[in-house]
Structure formats: structure tokens, C-alpha cells
Structure 1
Amino acid sequence: MKKKKFMNLKLTIFFLILAQIGFSQQYNSVIIESENIDSNNEIYKIGSVFVYDYEIIKDGQKCKLKTNNGMFARSEFELVPTESDSIGVQKIHLIVQPVSDSDRTNENQTQISYLQEPIFASLSSTGAVENDKNVWIHPIRKGFFNSLETAPFPFIKKPLKIGSEWTDQMQIGQGWGNELWGKWEGQLLLAYNYKITEKKTIKTEIGEIDCFVIESSAKSEIGTTKLTSYFSEKYGFVRLEYELLNELKVNMWLTDFKTDKEFNDTRTFFKTKEYIKQ
């Protein structure tokens, strides 16, 4: 009897998690291909690695993460000043691994995975879309980065043209909420607006990069969040500037880029804490 109750509890938790994730995949205007899902990618190719630095600005102070784990109610994190000697997450790595169609985290989307440097204790997988119609990326969502679910996702429609504007919407469950960036009950409807406002050259650690600038917003009953993203036709989204609720800000910027890499299998990765095959 106890075993049956335990199994029922596990199933209930499982379906609650599915519901939370399911309500985070509703961008209906994103054009997703049913074939050539990875092979036609020009930016987010299999074997690519994108390394981002980041900062979190809370109450005017620049911070990083000492700890950052879990999702939904299980998320745990601690912010520390950027000059602290106890930073546990220095940078964020986005990698594009090969995967069979049956093992994709999100159906018909390119599999991308996020890792946190320097510990590389876990690998969190989600999806991206890239084709001749649009490029759309699901941001990291571990720990503190649950907050990014309340903001517009990096998204650009083609042809790339200054003045192009589009809208979309998505519902997210209350499990993504937190006192720091906003809480709500039930489902929260986010209404998105995107506009390509200019093209400019920005300086990065890998050189000067020509980018299209996309100004976007997400309006909901709890307020408005914003994302200014900088998109390169070679490197993808090279800079992301988030304005969340409660005057919380998050900035991410590309610091390194690698292609044609082979990745360790899961067992080797967890044993060595190295994800690139040597």
C-alpha cells in the first residue's frame, strides 16, 4: 500500500513538472521544421560551443552566483558581489550535441545544453530553432535563471530587416516564480513584442561583431520585462540585456566560440568534469 502511494506521488510530481514545462513551449509564430532539424543550421551547428560571461544587477550592485541549482520550487541559488572570492558560477557554456530524434528534449528542435563553469557538475538540455525563417533560443533555466522564463526569449525573424516587428505569446506556470523576480498563481500569460531597431558593430572578446539589435518586451498582469538582444549571422545571439521585474537586471555576453568539437559521453563527463573529448 505504501509503495502504491509513493508511486502515485511520484507520478503526480512528474505530471506537474510536465505541465510547467509544457506551458513554456508555446511560441506559436516560431517556424519549426519537421526534417533537416540540425543539418541546415548555419550558427548552432553540431559540435559548436558558445561561452558566455554574465552579471546580475540587484539593487544597483553587480553580482554573480555562489551556488545555482534546481528548477521550479527546488531551485536554489545565492548571489555574491562580482569581486567575491566565493563565486561558484563564473561562466555559462552553451553546447550543441548530436542527438537522435527520439532523444530530443523538445521535439523537432536542435538540442542545446547548458553547463556552468568551472565545476561542470551537471548538464541541462533544452531546445533551439534555426532555419531560413527564424532563429529562436530557449535560455538557461537552472536556479536563478528560472527568472528568464518571465522575459522574452532570444528570437529573430528573417529576412533580417531594420523595422521588422512581430508579436507572440506564451503561458508559464507559477513554479517559475520567485519573490526576487515576481510571483503569481496559476498560469501567467506573457504577451511579447519584438522589433529589429538597428544594426551596429559591438566590441567583444572575440573581436568586433556586426549585429542586428532586437528590442523586445513581455507584458503580463504582474508587469513588463524587457530583452535587448544582439544577433550576429555568424555567432548568433552574442549579447543579451534583460530588464526583469523589481529592477532586477541580467546581462550575458559571448566571450568564446568553438566549432567542430566532439563531446564526451555522459559517463565520462560526470567522471572527468570535461565535456569536450580530448
Structure 2
Amino acid sequence: MKISLFGFCLLSCLMLFAGSAALAQKQGLFIEKKMPNDEGLNPYNYDNKIFVAGKTYVYNYFIIKGPDTLKYAISPQAGGEKNWKYVAKMQKDSNTVAYLGIKTLGKIGPIMMDKPDYDQTEIFLYHYNPNLKPLDTELTGVVENQANVWLHPFRFHALEILQLSPFPYVKLPFKQGQTFYWSLDLGKKWPEFKAFNWKGNLKLNCTYVEQGKETLELPFGKVEVIKVKSVAVTAKGNSSLIAYFSEAYGFVKLVYRNLDGSIIVMSLNQIR
């Protein structure tokens, strides 16, 4: 089916006016219908307001393990491998991951090329050095529409443990006390996962509660946010996430308490 850019925009508007009728529920999430096009555009980006092509969100972060406040550094190895290690929070050499970034792919990306039924907006997750040079990149997805926003976390290197914590998730419109659920079957521990050990099948059962609205002071100004508290219950213990969500900028602050006892905090620093 061929559709012009004008037709693409018109169909986008019609789908937005259709509201919840244009959405389908999948494992608790609302997913918008796939937009047909011959322009090479990602077919789930048409209603995005936050995760749009040409915009990158850059986050500061730190990791608390015991008495230490840390970042991490990535060192390239022979054969294309990359090793990492914890470093002091104030370290700023060229291998230190000083910032994290999220950037939306405007075109159909590698995931959808491999899996045509993939129903998310594709995004790059960057691990930046102090000069905002990417030291490593993840490719994953986000769901954004008028009913909910749900984001895959960073999961490389020192952030691998976030796979076992609640994923960032908010239901819209905001309702104080609104409670919702999401679960993830992780199954048996895969060999490449180093952050945490478990035996048998592991499942995350996540409960989210919208607490209220607050105002956060970010480097570029004050931002009104929705505060969402969540807990992931597993057979190996519980983890939690406090997420602060802006309808203009997405998840502007994330405070994770992880199964390994660590705390990871990310806060939006700039928009490029």
C-alpha cells in the first residue's frame, strides 16, 4: 500500500482523534495500530510527542553500592569486546561513562527489519564519555501514545541489573492513586547475565501507583512531573523504581533500588 506524506499526516490525525479505539491492549500495555507507509518511517512514531526523531535526551547518573558513589568506565578490547569497571563518581577520563542518552530512530531500524511485527518505537540508548562521544550503544524500544508510556531500561555494563527492576511505565491521563500492573517472565538465568544469580525460572510481578504531581528543578528549568512508585516482586527478592514523568520530556528522573542492593539514579540534564 502506497501512501503520500500528506496522506500519512491525515491518517495520523484521524487515528489520534479515534482515541482509545485506535489502541489495542497487549500484556497490560496499550499499543497503537501500525501505520502503513512507503516512506521508510517507523510505523509507531506518528503519535509520539516525546520520543521524536531529531531529539536526544541526555541524563546524568550515579550508582550507589555500599558506601561508594560511582560511575563506570568502558575499555575496548581486541576482537571488539568491551570491558567495564566501576570508577569514582568524579572521574572524567575519555573512557568514563559520564552521561546516558536516548535518541529516537525516525526510520525503520534494525529491530523491525529483522522482526516486522515489532510494535514499538525504536530508540538508541547511548553510554557517553564526558565529551558526549558514545562509548557504547544499545538498540531497543519504547511505547508512547495517549494511553501510556513504557520504556525499556539501559541494560549494558554496570546497568545490567536494571533488567530485574520495574521498567519505567506511566498511564495517562494522570489519576492520583491509579494502580496498574505489568509482569515479565525472565525464565532461567542466561549465561551472559553477570549482575545477579538465580536458579529456576524468575518472573517480575510489577505494581505501579501514580502518587501525585510535583515540580522538579532541572538544569534547564522547572518541570511539572507525575510521580510513579513501583515494586517488582520476585522469588529472589524485591526491587523498586520511583519514576518522575513529564508529559513534555518523558521520564526526567529515575531512582532504582535493585536486587543486588545497589541504587541507580538518572536525571535529565539536557535536550539536544
TM-score, reference length from structure 1? 0.76
- Aligned to 1:196, what secondary structure does the other structure show? strand
1:206/1:256 contact within 8 Å kept: yes
Q: Which residue in the other structure is 2:178 paired with?
A: 164
Distance 2:153 2:175 in 1: 24
- Aligned to 1:125, what secondary structure does the other structure show? strand
Cα displacement string for residues 112-140 of structure 1 (whole angstroms, at most 9, x for unaligned residues): 10112124144311000001110001011
Matched, 1:88 2:96: yes
Question: How many angstroms does 1:186 deviate by?
Answer: 4.0
Question: How many angstroms does 1:246 deviate by?
Answer: 3.6
> Which amino acid is the alignment partner of residue 29 of structure 2?
V
Q: Residue 100 of structure 1 is aligned with which of 102, 108, 132?
A: 108
Cα displacement string for residues 78-122 of structure 1 (whole angstroms, at most 9, x for unaligned residues): 111112354610101110122227427781100110112124144
Question: How many angstroms does 1:76 deviate by?
Answer: 4.1
1:139/1:148 contact within 8 Å kept: yes
Gaps of 5+ in 1: 1-26, 259-278
- Aligned to 2:32, what secondary structure does the other structure show? coil
- Aligned to 1:211, what secondary structure does the other structure show? strand
Q: Which residue in the other structure is 2:121 paired with?
A: 110
1:230/1:237 contact within 8 Å kept: yes
Q: Which residue in the other structure is 1:251 paired with?
A: 265
- Aligned to 1:149, what secondary structure does the other structure show? helix
Q: Give the number of aligned pairs.
A: 227
Question: How many angstroms does 1:141 deviate by?
Answer: 1.2
- Aligned to 1:123, what secondary structure does the other structure show? strand
Describe the shift of the 1:69–1:206 C-alpha distance in structure 2 as closer, same or farther (beyond 3 A): farther
1:93/1:116 contact within 8 Å kept: yes
Distance 1:51 1:217 in 2: 26
Q: Which residue in the other structure is 1:78 paired with?
A: 85
Question: How many angstroms does 1:158 deviate by?
Answer: 1.6
Distance 1:184 1:112 in 2: 29
- Aligned to 1:183, what secondary structure does the other structure show? coil
- Aligned to 1:144, what secondary structure does the other structure show? helix
Q: Percent identity at matched positions? A: 27
2:92/2:98 contact within 8 Å kept: no
Question: How many angstroms does 1:28 deviate by?
Answer: 1.1
Describe the shift of the 1:68–1:144 C-alpha distance in structure 2 as closer, same or farther (beyond 3 A): farther
1:51/1:255 contact within 8 Å kept: yes
Question: How many angstroms does 1:247 deviate by?
Answer: 2.3
2:161/2:260 contact within 8 Å kept: no
Q: Mean alpha-carbon deviation: is it higher for 199-208 or for 113-122?
A: 113-122
Question: How many angstroms does 1:75 deviate by?
Answer: 7.7
Distance 2:193 2:101 in 1: 24
Between 1 and 2, higher relative CO (CA 8 Å, sep ≥ 6) is seen in 1
Question: How many angstroms does 1:205 deviate by?
Answer: 0.7
**More helix per residue:** 1
Question: How many angstroms does 1:187 deviate by?
Answer: 2.9
> Which amino acid is the alignment partner of residue 113 of structure 2?
D
Q: Which residue in the other structure is 1:149 paired with?
A: 163
Matched, 1:193 2:207: yes
Q: Which residue in the other structure is 1:219 paired with?
A: 233
**More strand per residue:** 2
Q: Residue 228 of structure 1 is aligned with which of 223, 242, 250?
A: 242
Distance 2:185 2:266 in 1: 24
Distance 1:54 1:155 in 2: 19
Distance 1:170 1:84 in 2: 36
1:114/1:140 contact within 8 Å kept: yes
Gaps of 5+ in 2: 1-25, 36-43
Q: How does 1:33-72 map to 2 (within 5 A)?
A: 33-36=32-35, 37-67=44-74
Describe the shift of the 1:163–1:94 C-alpha distance in structure 2 as closer, same or farther (beyond 3 A): same
- Aligned to 1:245, what secondary structure does the other structure show? coil
- Aligned to 1:93, what secondary structure does the other structure show? strand
Distance 2:76 2:32 in 1: 32
Distance 1:190 1:255 in 2: 30
1:149/1:172 contact within 8 Å kept: no
> Which amino acid is the alignment partner of residue 72 of structure 2?
L
